[in-house]
Amino acid sequence: MGKARKGDWVQIFKIVLKPEERAPGLPPETASVPLTMKVKGFLVEESAEIGDQVSIQTMTGREVEGKLIGINPAYAIDYGRPQQELLKIGLETKKLIREEVDEK
């Protein structure tokens, strides 16, 4: 478990609405779970560990409280895996266009 220090860039988690506080008319799978929120900002406390209740100062200067869930969290995006179903589309269509040019 890492430890965050004051001023570190961290992410917190918070329940915004409990299931019983949510809007009327939601599908059951949505109505049965809370509406939750994640926000990032600079840690206000001197130090904290994952799972602690902390405060952060966000990029706009707002102070928000919540459970610490990430310390300098990584961006979890990449280019995934090449898709077999897409790999030949270029080949197939270029062939059609080349044939058209050759015929002329």
Partner 1 sequence: MKNNPDLSYQGVMDRKNRIMMQAVGIDYDQFEQEGIAFDYEQMMNKAGYSLEEVRKIQEETNVGKTPLLELHNLTKLVRLHADPGKGARIFVKDEACNPSGSFKARRASLSCYQAQKQGYKGVISATSGNYGAAVASQSAIRALNCIVVQELFDSQDLSQPEIMEKGRACEAYGAEVVQLSVGPELFYKFLLLLEETGYFNASLYTPFGIAGIETLGFELAEQVRQTTGKDPAAVLITHAGGGNVTGTARGLQKAGCNDTEIVGISVDLSGLHMASDHDFNRKSFTTGHTGFGVPFATWPDRADVPRNAARPLRYLDRYYTVTQGEVFYVTELLAQLEGLERGPAGNTSLAGAFSVAKEMDRDDILVVQETEYTGAGKHPSPQLTFARNMGITVRRGHPEENIPGQNIVIPESSDQLSVKSVDLDNLRKSYLKKAALEKGEGALSSLELEYLAAELKTSLEWIEKNYKEAIK
Distance in angstroms (rounded) separating the CA atoms of residues 43 and 72: 11
Phi, psi of 30 (to 5 degrees): -90, -40
Q: Which is nearer to partner 1, 46 or 78 (CB)?
A: 78
* 33 neighbors 16 (Cβ within 8 angstroms): no
**62 binds partner 1 per the rule CB under 8 A:** yes
* Min CB(57)–partner 1 separation in Å: 10
Q: What does the binding site for partner 1 look like in residue numbers (CB under 8 A)?
A: 16-17, 21-23, 26-27, 29-30, 33-41, 58-62, 75-83, 85-86, 89-90, 92-94, 96-97, 100
